[in-house]
């Protein structure tokens, strides 16, 4: 199997890993009071939101190659489905 077969899975796993790493960094910074803690139980929500804000632009820059491979994989699947639908429509038109 080619490496492009699992491009979507690879991109998703790397994106989740980058989010987890960002959350770990935010948690450590909050633990050592480098960044302010939120009030009460909202601390976890604050750290999750901050990790999302940090990991999104990082994934845009760092995972460009994986995102392009995933895009190529999706486009190929959509093209195959479109060709299959067109072939089926052509067969139905031939029966009339």
> Per-residue pLDDT tens for 36-54?
876 666 788 889 999 999 9
- Distance (Å, rounded) from C-alpha 86 to C-alpha 89? 5
Dihedral angle sign, alpha carbons of residues 22, 25, 29, 30:
positive
Question: Is the per-residue pLDDT at 26 higher than 70?
Answer: yes
Distances (CA, A) of 47 to 50, 56, 71: 5, 14, 30
Average pLDDT over residues 2-21: 89
Q: How much is the pTM?
A: 0.77
User: What angle (nearest 5°) sits at the alpha carbon of residue 31, between those of residues 28 and 34?
Assistant: 80
């Amino acid at each position: 199997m080619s490496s492009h077969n699992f491009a979507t899975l690879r991109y998703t796993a790397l994106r989740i890993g980058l989010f987890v790493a960002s959350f770990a960094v935010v948690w450590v910074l909050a633990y050592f009071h480098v960044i302010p803690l939120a009030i009460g139980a909202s601390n976890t929500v604050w750290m999750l939101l901050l990790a999302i804000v940090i990991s999104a632009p990082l994934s845009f820059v760092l995972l460009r190659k994986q995102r392009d491979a995933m895009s190529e994989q999706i486009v190929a699947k959509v093209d195959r489905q479109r060709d299959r639908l067109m072939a089926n429509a052509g067969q139905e038109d031939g029966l009339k």
